[in-house]
Amino acid sequence: MSKERMKLKLKVWRQNGPNEKGKIETYKVSDISPDSSFLEMMDILNEQLINEGKEPVEFDHDCREGICGSCSMFINGEAHGPGKRMTTCQLHMRKFNDGDTITIEPWKAKGFPVIKDLMVDRTAFDRIMSAGGFISVNTSGNTQDANAIPINKHDADKAMDAATCIGCGACVATCKNASAMLFVSAKVSQFALLPQGQVEAVERVQNMVKQMDKEGFGNCSNTGACEVECPKGISLENIARMNREYLKSGMG
């Protein structure tokens, strides 16, 4: 374990609400262990602010295990900060150097209005899922054995890969158009690849895309930044699959 301690300058976005004007505030923290997580460092900052009689920085978090995705922050211009295939809570301070200046901002997109400081409202994703992210298979007292429906391993693997999306919104925050297509396509794909998802296939893709547009997310920029910054490595091929599903849904 490293014994070195770090001093850092933090430039943090502060905003009281979606209709308020935000600004960057600068803070200094010291005695930070390189083995601390980024969120632990934020906890130390907030403890310092409280002791000074100041309002702590609002940020979202839950599991702190890279599962829920709620710890979303834009750190030095990167979704979830430096490092690949990780969420903010999995980021450790050893990724930074003593004396560094770290800029910390919320996701910035029309579909993700700021609640306060670094916390944004991501219920748009919930509404997209409600529009079509489900199947009508009866699982109440009528559950089938897992091996009852033969599924090609390649398709099963692809469906599982798509299902690993945690809905953190890094794809939206990274895209210059604030597109949610990587998220929506992952949720469409995890059903489109399996026989259980075929019953609602037409309505699903149409309704989810319609809701995505209604929420104010932009179009795909085709730059691939979303896949690069996705903590779960969701593939762009899901967007192509969603586009095919959407085209097919209009041919019936």
Break the chain into its structural domains and give their ranges: 6-105, 122-249
pLDDT tens per residue, range 1-47: 446 899 999 999 999 999 999 999 999 999 999 999 999 999 999 99
DSSP bridge pairs for 101? 9
pLDDT at 141: 74
pLDDT tens per residue, range 176-197: 999 999 999 999 999 999 998 9
Would the pLDDT of 219 be above 80? Answer: yes
Residue 82 near residue 97, CB atoms below 8 Å: no
CATH 3.30.390.30 fits 6-105, yes or no: no
H/E element, 173? helix 170-174
Which pLDDT band holds residue 251 (cuts at 50, 70, 90)?
confident
Rg (CA), the chain: 20
CA atoms of 90 and 71, how far apart (whole Å): 10
H/E element, 43? helix 38-51
**In CATH terms, are 6-105 and 122-249 the same topology?**
no
Give the dihedral sign, CA 182/232/126/24: negative
DSSP-based three-state secondary structure for 166? coil
Would the pLDDT of 171 be above 80? Answer: yes
Listed residue (31, 213, 251, 10) closest to 117, CA to CA:
10
The CATH H-level superfamily of 122-249 is Alpha-helical ferredoxin (1.10.1060.10)
CA distances to 13, 107, 224 from 174, rounded to whole Å, are 17, 8, 10
H/E element, 101? strand 101-105
Which pLDDT band holds residue 136 (cuts at 50, 70, 90)?
confident
